[in-house]
Chain A
Amino acid sequence: MRIRVLGNLAVLCATVALSYGMQVTKPHYADLTAPIPIDGAMNDTVRARSFAVRLDKVIFARQLKASQFGQEKLLTTSGLWVVATTSLTATGASTAVADGTWQGPTGLRYHQTERLGYRQDMPPHGVDPGLDKRGLFVFEVPSDQIRGARLLIAARQFGPLDAQARISLDALPTGADGQPSDILPEFDLDAAPGQTSQGQTPQGKT
Chain B
Amino acid sequence: MSAVSTEPAVDPQAERKWRRGGLLALAILLPLTLAETSYDSVREWLHGEDLIARDVEFGQSVPFGGSGWKLADLRGGKAGRLPDHAFAVIATFTVTIGDPDLRKQWLGCKLMLTDAAGRRWLPDFISGVSLPEGAMNCAQAIFSGARKGDVITVGDTFIVPEDAVKTIRPAVGLGSERPWYLRFQRPPK
Which residue numbers of A lie inside 8 Å of B, CB to CB?
Answer: 92-94, 126, 128-133
Contacts and interface: CB of A to CB of B under 8 A. Distances in A.
B120 A129 contact: yes
B119 A93 contact: yes
Interface string B76-89: 00000001001000
Interface in B146-189: 159-161, 163-164
Nearest to B120: A93
- The list of the 10 closest CB pairs from A to B, nearest first, reads A130-B161, A94-B122, A93-B120, A129-B119, A94-B121, A131-B161, A128-B121, A131-B86, A92-B119, A130-B164
Interface in B97-114: none
Interface centre among A93, A128, A133 (most CB of B within 10 A): A128
B124 interface: yes
A49 to B, nearest CB: 14
A130 B124 contact: no
A130 B119 contact: yes
B31 interface: no
Contacts of B118: 92
A28 B59 CA distance: 56
Contacts of B160: 128, 130-131
29 contacts: A92-B118, A92-B119, A92-B120, A93-B119, A93-B120, A93-B121, A93-B122, A94-B120, A94-B121, A94-B122, A94-B124, A126-B124, A128-B121, A128-B122, A128-B124, A128-B159, A128-B160, A128-B161, A129-B161, A129-B164, A130-B119, A130-B160, A130-B161, A130-B163, A130-B164, A131-B83, A131-B86, A131-B159, A132-B83
Interface in B112-141: 118-122, 124
A194 to B, nearest CB: 16
Nearest to A130: B161
Given A92-B120, A93-B122, A128-B159, 5 more contacts: A92-B118, A128-B121, A128-B124, A130-B160, A130-B161
A94 B161 CA distance: 12
A165 to B, nearest CB: 20
Contacts of A93: 119-122
A126 B159 CA distance: 12
A41 to B, nearest CB: 25
A186 to B, nearest CB: 29
B171 to A, nearest CB: 11
A131 B164 CA distance: 11
B48 to A, nearest CB: 13
Contacts of B164: 129-130
A54 B161 CA distance: 19
A161 B159 CA distance: 30
B25 to A, nearest CB: 27
A97 to B, nearest CB: 14
Contacts of A129: 119-121, 161, 164
A92 B119 CA distance: 5
A132 B121 CA distance: 14
A119 to B, nearest CB: 16
